[in-house]
Amino acid sequence: VLYVNSNSQSYIRQPGRCEFIISAFESQTGELESPQHTLPPESSCLYHFQGRRHETVWVSFIKYHSAIDPTGFESPAECVTQLRIWDGRWSVTSRPYGAPPDYQRNASLIEQICREEVPRLCSRSLVAKGSRPCSTQESYLSTGSDLTIEYRPSPIGTARLYGPASAFKLRYEFVDNSLGGAPLEPLVAPSAMPEPAALVQFHPKSCDRVFRSSSASRGIFRSPSNVFMYGRGGSPNISCIIRFEASGGESVRLTITRARFGGRSCQNLQNRSGRWHCNHHGGPVSDLRISEVPWTDVSPLPRDCLCSDVSGSITLAPLAASIVEVKFTTLQMEVDQDFRDFYFEGRYEFARDGCETDWSERRLRGRSGDAYLKPTPCPALIQPWLLEPETDSSYLVLKLKGFWMPPLLQSAPPCPTDARITVYSTNNPKNSRDLCPSGPDVVAFSDGWDRAYEFSAMEISKSLIIEFKSPRRPPVELVEYKFSWMEIFPAHDCPHRCQELQACIPSELWCDGKVHCPSGQDESPTECDLRLPLSPLHVGLAAATLTLVLSLAAGLTACARRKRGEKKHLQSVHLDAAGRAGYGQPHPHHGAGYPHANHHLTSSHALTPLYLDPSKDSFC
């Protein structure tokens, strides 16, 4: 005596009506067995698996038995069909009274199993619970939301008194393929991750999605529920990016309502600025990371991280950028773990706060420069800046005022303000350092400067991110914090070298009237007095001065020559007049009147020669 559940698919209530509907609305997963009692000869059973429109049907046979009757074979080459699997739904065209219904097969045949054959089996799950998951080569997967199995327990021969000639047991699951949003095209090509075979054949290869404010102003986002993206479906790792793109004047607000990370050893910590951090205690990683993208060609800037279970809602602090990314990563899953062990769900909203940042103004490039950080009235407390060197071979040195905060807050000296400045490389945010903006001058270098003279096969980003965290309570007076930067080069022997930095600086920064080296070496008199100024203004002034000196010298030389010529001329005139007075005859009008003549000569030669004659337009 064999007892069966009269409400299960193992029992036929109406003789001649072996037909069952397995709906996703009743159960997402389950097991199904063929009828275990005697059926009329050549009976046919139909199993209709009907899922939702965003689901597919996954069926794996874990047990199959067929009793072969040699007397029933007409020819060894003839196939007596016992099992057919159809991809699609059978629809009823007519149902005559007292007769089996007629079906229209809107489906394609996946596989046909003859009486002496067996379907694809995944029987090892009956032996060990933690065995390798069933693959698509060991199971059947529909392309749509419906799958139909046509089964003939006794295709030929007489009915058996003790049950059908064959039997099977299978597991079914309705796979949820919904992801929400739209497919995401990556801004930067990610490293390739192998896809499960089922995803390559029947499903989208990526779980990356994007939500835009032009489509909906608010909604729900969650991790994928596709089993093939998790350990039980054959993929030990999963990495999904969900991006939110806001319009101008909008910001992205996120709330994580629930999350689970498989009981991994990790803890959520919240810092003073309201940001969440992950404190991993070792082992495989499973976390949810939130970042913002101010510049699309630069890696996202990390903001929050969650790695332990979330049962109550966590509202994340607002972000400044209009593009926000949520990255869900889980590594090294077990073969029995899936979306019920690792998942998250949250709400998003595009809020219009009127704060729109021109990120091109916060992207600084050049040999050197200055900029100012100041609190913002916008809800986002963190305001990032990007510094980039002019050339690929150069590094950056950053100068600020303050002191570096130690990793342990207990050992940190008191800071007079809760404002902070964070500095890190664009591709190495884990090595960030926090600065209290109050104190003496401090410097920070690009990533890799300490290994600049060594060969490195790793790609190093020499750009720097500077984040200013505004105080929670704005000060009464507006306080600005200045920072300066300069390009430096690694070289042992160069003409323009800052000794205290052990670095070379560009030649145009040497003796340009502004101190760049911390000790002021580049503007010291010993360095700059020995060098001619090379600027166009200095060259022009020097040329004008030289021209004026040469012109003045030429003019004075000409005057001196003229002076000597006039002296000689006057002397000759004087001697000629004196000769006439001593040897000449008396004047006809005055007779021999010497006094008169003598007076005339005396008056003629008593005049002092004038070298600047106002009556003539002459330099002399």
Residues facing 261 on adjacent strands: 342
Q: Where would I find the beta strands (DSSP E) of 75-137?
A: 81-94, 102-114
Domains and CATH numbers, the chain: 19-69+77-176 (2.60.120.290), 182-186+205-352 (2.60.120.290), 363-522 (2.60.120.290)
Tokens of 513: 């009237």
Residue pair 466/422 in contact by the 8 Å Cβ criterion: yes
Report the alpha-carbon distance of residue 539 to residue 236 in Å, rounded: 70
DSSP state of 177: -
Report the alpha-carbon distance of residue 35 to residue 17 in Å, rounded: 12
Residue pair 586/592 in contact by the 8 Å Cβ criterion: yes
Residue pair 70/79 in contact by the 8 Å Cβ criterion: no
pLDDT at 595: 41
pLDDT at 586: 46
Residue pair 255/313 in contact by the 8 Å Cβ criterion: yes
pLDDT at 291: 95
In a 13 Å sphere around the CA of 295, the CA atoms on its Cβ side amount to 18
Those residues whose C-beta lies under 8 Å from the C-beta of residue 142, and which sit 6 or more positions away, are 49, 56, 57, 58, 87, 88
pLDDT tens figures, 158-168: 555 556 677 89
pLDDT at 19: 86
Tokens of 260: 């689970």
pLDDT at 95: 58
Q: Give the residue ranges of the chain where pLDDT is below 50.
A: 73, 189-204, 532-533, 580-617, 619
Tokens of 143: 């392309």
pLDDT at 599: 40
Minimal CA–CA distance to 394: which of 324, 332, 475, 460? Answer: 460
Minimal CA–CA distance to 149: which of 174, 168, 177, 123? Answer: 168
Return the C-alpha torsion angle 191, 197, 203, 204, nearest 10: 10
DSSP state of 479: -
> Token pair 């005697």 is at which residue?
38
pLDDT at 362: 92
Report the alpha-carbon distance of residue 88 to residue 33 in Å, rounded: 21
pLDDT at 262: 93
pLDDT at 535: 60
Distance (Å) of CA 610 to CA 484, 605, 614, 619:
66, 13, 9, 13
Report the alpha-carbon distance of residue 470 to residue 421 in Å, rounded: 9
Residue pair 109/85 in contact by the 8 Å Cβ criterion: yes
Report the alpha-carbon distance of residue 576 to residue 267 in Å, rounded: 121
The two beta strands, 166-176 and 45-50, are unpaired
Tokens of 163: 């049950």
Tokens of 480: 């600005």
Stretch (H or E) spanning 612 = none
Report the alpha-carbon distance of residue 25 to residue 559 in Å, rounded: 116
Report the alpha-carbon distance of residue 540 to residue 126 in Å, rounded: 94
pLDDT tens figures, 569-614: 666 655 555 554 444 444 444 444 434 434 443 443 444 443 444 4
pLDDT tens figures, 215-270: 999 999 999 999 999 998 889 999 999 999 999 889 999 999 999 999 999 999 88
Distance (Å) of CA 309 to CA 73, 179, 312, 314:
61, 22, 9, 11
